[in-house]
C-alpha cells in the first residue's frame, strides 16, 4: 500500500502529478504513477486581482469590479473588512443571496506615493476558508517631476553653459517655485517662475570641472506634498560634443574677438533655453 500526501496550497483547479516509485522487483525497478485531482474552491473570484495600470493623479479613474460567487463549500455570507489603504474605496453588493456578490473598488486621493499596493479582504462565513483577498495595484504619475531629471554638463567647456530645469506638476492646484540652491559656489541658479513657467536656470562657467562625486540642485516649492525636488549634476568625460538624449546647451555665447574669451549676453542669460531645444545637445560654443 502506498500513501501519498499532497500539498495543495498552491494548486488551482485540476492538477496532475507524476510519482516515481522504486521497487525491489528486478523486472520492474521503477514504476510511474499519476496522481490526478480537482481542487475545490470555497469562493470563486473573477478577476482574481485588480490592476488599474498607470493613471494620472488629476484624471478620474473608472472603478473596477470583482464578481464573487459561491464555490464548493456552501453558501456565502460575505462581510467587507475595512480597507487599510487610504487610496482605495470598496463597496460590496449582494446580487444573489448566498450565491453571488459584486465588489467595486475605486481609486481615489490621497496618494502618498507613486504606487498603490494593497489588498481588499472579505470574510466569507465559511469555516474552512474564512477570508478571501483581492490584490489591488496601481502606478501613478509623480506629483512633481523635474525635466530633465539629471543635469549632465559637457566636459572641457570652452564657454559659459546653462541648463534650464522645468518642474511639471500632476495636480489641478497651481504651485510655485519659492527658491533654488546648488552645493557648489562655482555654480549659480536663477528662479524663473513667471507667466506660467516653473523653471530654474543653472549657470555653469567655462572650464568647469567636478573633481569626484556630484553636485545637487535643490528646488523648493510651495507644495506641502512635494516641498522640494533634487536634481543631480554631473560632468561627462571628454570634450563636449552633440549626443542624442543629452541636456541642452542653453546660451549662445558672444565672441570677444579682441580677448578671445567667450562671454554670455545679458539677454540670453535672462531668456534661458527655448522649449524646442530641451531634447537636443548642440556642441559647446567654440
CATH of domain 43-140: 2.60.40.10
User: Which pLDDT value is given to residue 10?
Assistant: 66
Cα separation of 102 and 273, whole Å? 54
Domain range list for the chain? 43-140, 144-277
Convert the pLDDT of each residue in 192-219 to its tens digit: 887 778 999 999 999 998 877 789 999 9
pLDDT mean by block of 10 residues, the chain; 286 residues: 72 77 87 80 90 85 94 89 92 94 91 87 91 93 90 91 92 88 94 85 93 88 91 80 39 36 37 38 40
User: Which pLDDT value is given to residue 7?
Assistant: 72
Q: Which of 263, 260, 80 is nearest to 159 (CA)?
A: 263
Q: Do domains 43-140 and 144-277 have the same CATH topology?
A: yes
Please indicate, yes or no, whether the overall pTM of this predicted structure exceeds 0.85: no
Give the list of residues 6+ apart from residue 143 with CB closer than 8 angstroms, or none: 57, 111, 114, 169, 170, 171, 223, 225, 226
User: Which pLDDT value is given to residue 127?
Assistant: 87
Q: Following DSSP, what letter does each residue of 33-68 receive, concatenated?
A: EEEEEEPPPSEEEESSSEEEEEE-SSS----EEEEE
User: Which pLDDT value is given to residue 273?
Assistant: 39
Q: Following DSSP, what letter does each residue of 72-138 receive, concatenated?
A: SS-----EEPPPS-TTEEEEEEEEETTTEEEEEEEE-S---SSEEEEEEEEE-S-TTS-EEEEEEEE
Convert the pLDDT of each residue in 55-106 to its tens digit: 888 778 899 999 999 988 889 999 999 998 988 999 999 999 999 999 999 9
Q: Which of 124, 169, 134, 127 is nearest to 52 (CA)?
A: 134
CATH assignment of 144-277, among 2.60.40.10, 2.60.40.420, 1.10.20.10, 1.10.630.10: 2.60.40.10
Amino acid at each position: 500500500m502506498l500513501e501519498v500526501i499532497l500539498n495543495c496550497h498552491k494548486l488551482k483547479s485540476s492538477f496532475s502529478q507524476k510519482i516515481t516509485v522504486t521497487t525491489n522487483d528486478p523486472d520492474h525497478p521503477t514504476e510511474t504513477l499519476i496522481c490526478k485531482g480537482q481542487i475545490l474552491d470555497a469562493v470563486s473570484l473573477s478577476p482574481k486581482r485588480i490592476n488599474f495600470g498607470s493613471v494620472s493623479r488629476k484624471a478620474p479613474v473608472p472603478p473596477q469590479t470583482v464578481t464573487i460567487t459561491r464555490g464548493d463549500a456552501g453558501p456565502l455570507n460575505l462581510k467587507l473588512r475595512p480597507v487599510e489603504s487610504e487610496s482605495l474605496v470598496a463597496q460590496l453588493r449582494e446580487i444573489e443571496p448566498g450565491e453571488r456578490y459584486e465588489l467595486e473598488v475605486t481609486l481615489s486621493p490621497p496618494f502618498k506615493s507613486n504606487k498603490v499596493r494593497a489588498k481588499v479582504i472579505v470574510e466569507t462565513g465559511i469555516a474552512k476558508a474564512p477570508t478571501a483577498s483581492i490584490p489591488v495595484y496601481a502606478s501613478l504619475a509623480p506629483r512633481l517631476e523635474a525635466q530633465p531629471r539629471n543635469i549632465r554638463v559637457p566636459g572641457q567647456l570652452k564657454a559659459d553653459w546653462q541648463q534650464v530645469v522645468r518642474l511639471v506638476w500632476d495636480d489641478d492646484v497651481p504651485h510655485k517655485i519659492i527658491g533654488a540652491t546648488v552645493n557648489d559656489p562655482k555654480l549659480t541658479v536663477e528662479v524663473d517662475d513667471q507667466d506660467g513657467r516653473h523653471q530654474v536656470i543653472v549657470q555653469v562657467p567655462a572650464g568647469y570641472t567636478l573633481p569626484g562625486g556630484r553636485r545637487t540642485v535643490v528646488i523648493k516649492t510651495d507644495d506641502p506634498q512635494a516641498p522640494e525636488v533634487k536634481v543631480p549634476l554631473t560632468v561627462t568625460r571628454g570634450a563636449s560634443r552633440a549626443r542624442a538624449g543629452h541636456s541642452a546647451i542653453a546660451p549662445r555665447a558672444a565672441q570677444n574677438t579682441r580677448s578671445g574669451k567667450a562671454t554670455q549676453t545679458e539677454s540670453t542669460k535672462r531668456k534661458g533655453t527655448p522649449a524646442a531645444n530641451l531634447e537636443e545637445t548642440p556642441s559647446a560654443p567654440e
